[in-house]
């Protein structure tokens, strides 16, 4: 059985910066830099980090809305197969690398095109942050939900009609909503429509790109509960991108923390909340407000801003803002290592500071 639905290896997404009269390539914005991440079947992986750290870029690269600069995203492959291909790529032997390249055409979703890509689109879907932007204002709800089905070209008109109705019921809406325009709905309802569209083609994996942050607080929990229910009913896998830590705590099984295009910590939700290892994660968690005015707690306040991703700091990317930074942090890039079981951290000094 494949337990990994997505296996992201050394993924890079650079946006070129062009300048001058001739649009010369002068630099890169390193939005996602050398990132490894596996997403397990059926889990909800929370992806957190501050604005501009590359969360959304990572998501959109998985969706093939942006093209990856480098790296591989294996879709639905066993761990052994992935390791075998990675081994071939790392072997340094020309024929072996060529063989690996051949294999990648089939399994690496960053290299798919044409029919394969269209099929993949069925299995990988997205729910955007703001439903007032993600629904075409001049399309009927019926057409919006039906579009992915229609584009696939394998469903008959009647099947599509039935399926749209089912989907609407699934997300808690009714038949009479089919013949309306998005502007006739409230924010929560619109997000339900967006969810229905994402589920239309029976996906395995849905990228949730901050699906609740544009909604009223009262509606957020409704949508979260709906998403959790749907995950159970349709055995979906979520990558839940957000910067709202409590939402992530509520919905995720595991949490990945990103900082400036790099993964800094990855582990089970409970583990991370109980025992954060990376100084950045500690700072993030200490920023969660506690609904008790009497409680006293030490807050870690980070100084400075996120450095410019065009020219990220050498060594550990967090070192300019880290109070534990030593010379080693300024020189050497820390790798993700397993600190506890299933709990990974990319920090040179996690042992000393925990």
The contact pattern for other proteins, residues 154-193, with x = CB under 8 A and - = no contact, is: -------------------------xxx-x----------
Total residue count of the chain as it appears in this document: 354
Q: Which of 122, 244, 249, 343 binds other proteins (CB under 8 A)?
A: 122
Binding segment toward other proteins, per CB under 8 A, in 91-99, 194-202, 259-267, 297-305? 194-202
The contact pattern for other proteins, residues 58-87, with x = CB under 8 A and - = no contact, is: --x--xxx----------------------
Which residues share a beta bridge with 14?
A: 30
Of 140 and 336, the one with the shorter C-beta distance to other proteins is 140
Report helix angle 217-234 to 187-199, nearest 10. Answer: 20
For residue 259, give the 3-state DSSP assignment: strand
Q: Which of 94, 138, 158, 299 binds other proteins (CB under 8 A)?
A: 138
Minimum CB–partner distance for residue 337 and other proteins (Å): 34
Of 62 and 104, the one with the shorter C-beta distance to other proteins is 62
The whole-angstrom separation of Cα 125 and Cα 181 is: 22
Determine if 121 is a binding residue for other proteins (CB under 8 A).
yes
Q: Which of 126, 171, 226, 251 binds other proteins (CB under 8 A)?
A: 126
Of 78 and 152, the one with the shorter C-beta distance to other proteins is 152
Of 199 and 322, the one with the shorter C-beta distance to other proteins is 199
Binding segment toward other proteins, per CB under 8 A, in 167-175, 196-204, 225-233, 251-259? 196-204
Residue 35 Rama label (left phi>0; alpha psi -120 to 50; beta): beta
**CA 346 → CA 41, 135, 235, 265, distances in Å?**
24, 39, 31, 6
Q: Which of 69, 134, 189, 252 binds other proteins (CB under 8 A)?
A: 134
Minimum CB–partner distance for residue 327 and other proteins (Å): 43
DSSP state of 156: -
Of 84 and 180, the one with the shorter C-beta distance to other proteins is 180
Determine if 117 is a binding residue for other proteins (CB under 8 A).
yes
Return the exposure string of 307-331: e unless at least 16 CB atoms fall within 10 Å of the residue's CB, then b.
bebeebbebbbbbbbbeebeeebee
Q: Is the distance from CB of 272 to CB of 343 less than 8 angstroms?
A: yes
Minimum CB–partner distance for residue 299 and other proteins (Å): 35
Q: Which of 34, 50, 130, 161 binds other proteins (CB under 8 A)?
A: 130
| Backbone φ, ψ for residue 117 (5° rounding) | -65, -40
Query: How many residues make contact with other proteins (CB under 8 A)?
Result: 34
DSSP state of 338: E
Q: Is the distance from CB of 334 to CB of 347 less than 8 angstroms?
A: yes
Residue 132 host element (H or E)? helix 131-134
CB within 8 Å of 197: residues ≥ 6 apart: 125, 144, 145, 147, 148, 167
Binding residues for other proteins, rule: CB under 8 A, are 60, 63-65, 117-118, 121-122, 124-126, 128-130, 133-140, 147-148, 151-152, 179-181, 183, 194, 197, 200-201
């Amino acid at each position: 059985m494949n337990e990994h639905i997505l296996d992201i290896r050394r993924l890079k997404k650079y946006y070129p910066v062009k300048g001058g009269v001739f649009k010369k390539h002068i630099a890169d914005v390193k939005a996602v830099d050398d990132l490894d991440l596996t997403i397990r079947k059926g889990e909800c992986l929370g992806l957190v980090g501050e604005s501009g750290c590359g969360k959304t870029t990572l998501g959109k690269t998985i969706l093939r809305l942006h093209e990856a600069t480098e790296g591989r995203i294996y879709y639905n492959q066993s761990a052994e197969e992935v390791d075998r291909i990675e081994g071939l790529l790392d072997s340094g032997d020309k024929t072996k690398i060529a063989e690996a390249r051949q294999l990648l055409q089939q399994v690496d979703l960053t290299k798919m095109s044409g029919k394969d890509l269209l099929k993949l689109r069925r299995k990988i879907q997205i729910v955007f942050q703001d439903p007032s932007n993600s629904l075409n204002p001049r399309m009927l709800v019926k057409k919006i939900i039906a579009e992915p089905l229609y584009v696939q070209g394998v469903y008959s008109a009647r099947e599509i009609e039935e399926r749209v109705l089912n989907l609407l019921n699934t997300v808690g809406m009714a038949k009479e909503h089919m013949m309306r325009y998005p502007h006739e709905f409230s924010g929560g309802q619109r997000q339900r429509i967006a969810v229905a569209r994402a589920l239309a083609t029976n996906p395995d994996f849905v990228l949730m790109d901050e699906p609740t942050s544009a909604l009223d607080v009262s509606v957020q929990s409704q949508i979260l509960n709906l998403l959790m229910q749907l995950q159970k009913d349709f055995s979906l896998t979520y990558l839940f991108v957000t910067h709202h830590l409590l939402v992530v705590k509520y919905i995720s099984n595991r949490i990945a923390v990103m900082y400036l295009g790099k993964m800094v910590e990855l582990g089970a939700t409970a583990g991370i909340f109980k025992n954060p290892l990376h100084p950045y994660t500690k700072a993030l968690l200490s920023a969660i407000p506690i609904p008790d005015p009497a409680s006293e707690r030490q807050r870690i306040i980070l100084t400075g801003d996120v450095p410019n991703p065009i020219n990220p700091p050498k060594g550990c990317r967090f070192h300019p803002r880290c109070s534990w930074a030593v010379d080693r942090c300024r020189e050497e890039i820390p790798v993700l290592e397993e600190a506890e079981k299933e709990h990974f951290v990319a920090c040179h000094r996690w042992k000393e500071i925990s």
